[in-house]
């Protein structure tokens, strides 16, 4: 095999976050105050959850995708309106990044990740990323952990309107980078999204519990 598709969080990057705590939302409250929007962290958190529920209900009614994905920048624009303010898209993206940064408890590469990806490239393989993630902060986190130059292509769910395990999301990746199903494997920590989603699409799925690097020998053997 020469086409290796990876999930990102808890597959390549060891991640733990909490989006429902005061620490995550306090920086957003402070930023909103600079825009003359007065609120508190509990209300913002509640509005975040409310918008997510409404989004999924609306998308389910439209039947466009089996697994729709929200663009959280738009979500933050709506949150600002719900508490009596207005944000530009740039400011909404900044607010989202503030929340994300405050929510992070752990964000680092799994040991051996760089060596695994380098090993695949040394064997002539291509490495792609297919992640249920928000571009507004994920692009920066990919660069922060040193993965930006290790990937031959990236597709994030917030840019596509759908997420794994939706076959449409897999199809978008294969169309964008002209990939061949016969030569591809999806690797991730989530059995439903990564393994069964890949198999539903028609490619092999490999469960990488504990991170891809923990399964390096098996993964590299597929490229030999």
Angstrom distance (rounded) from CA 22 to CA 42: 8
Residue with tokens 């039947």: 63
Residue 138, C-beta contacts closer than 8 angstroms, at least 6 positions apart: 8, 131, 156, 158
DSSP helix/strand/coil, 122:
helix
Nearest to 11 by CA among 185, 165, 209: 209
By CB neighbour count within 10 A (0-12 exposed, 13-18 middle, 19+ buried), where does 106 fall? exposed
pLDDT recorded at residue 64: 87
Q: What is the pTM for the complete model shown?
A: 0.94
The per-residue b/e assignment along 45-70, b for 16 or more CB within 10 angstroms, e otherwise, is bebbeebeeebeeebeeeeebebbbb
Positions in the chain whose pLDDT score sits under 50: none
Quick one: the chain helix, strand, coil %, rounded to 5?
55, 15, 30
């Amino acid at each position: 095999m020469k086409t290796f598709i990876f999930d990102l969080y808890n597959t390549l990057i060891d991640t733990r976050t909490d989006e429902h705590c005061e620490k995550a939302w306090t920086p957003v409250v402070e930023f909103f105050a600079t825009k003359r929007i007065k609120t508190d962290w509990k209300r913002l958190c509640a509005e975040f959850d409310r918008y997510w529920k409404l989004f999924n209900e609306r998308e389910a009614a439209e039947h466009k995708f089996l697994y729709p994905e929200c663009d959280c920048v738009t979500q933050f624009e709506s949150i600002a309106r719900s508490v009596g303010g207005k944000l530009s898209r740039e400011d909404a993206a900044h607010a989202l990044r503030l929340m994300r940064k405050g929510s992070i408890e752990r964000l680092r590469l799994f040991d051996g990740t760089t060596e695994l990806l380098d090993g695949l490239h040394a064997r002539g393989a291509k490495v792609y990323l297919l992640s249920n993630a928000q571009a507004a902060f994920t692009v920066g986190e990919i660069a922060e952990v040193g993965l930006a130059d290790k990937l031959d292509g990236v597709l994030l769910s917030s840019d596509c309107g759908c997420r794994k395990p939706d076959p449409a999301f897999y199809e978008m990746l294969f169309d964008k980078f002209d990939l061949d199903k016969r030569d591809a494997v999806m690797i991730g920590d989530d059995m439903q999204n990564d393994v069964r989603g890949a198999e539903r699409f028609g490619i092999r799925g490999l469960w990488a519990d504990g991170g891809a690097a923990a399964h390096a020998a098996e993964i590299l053997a597929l490229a030999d």
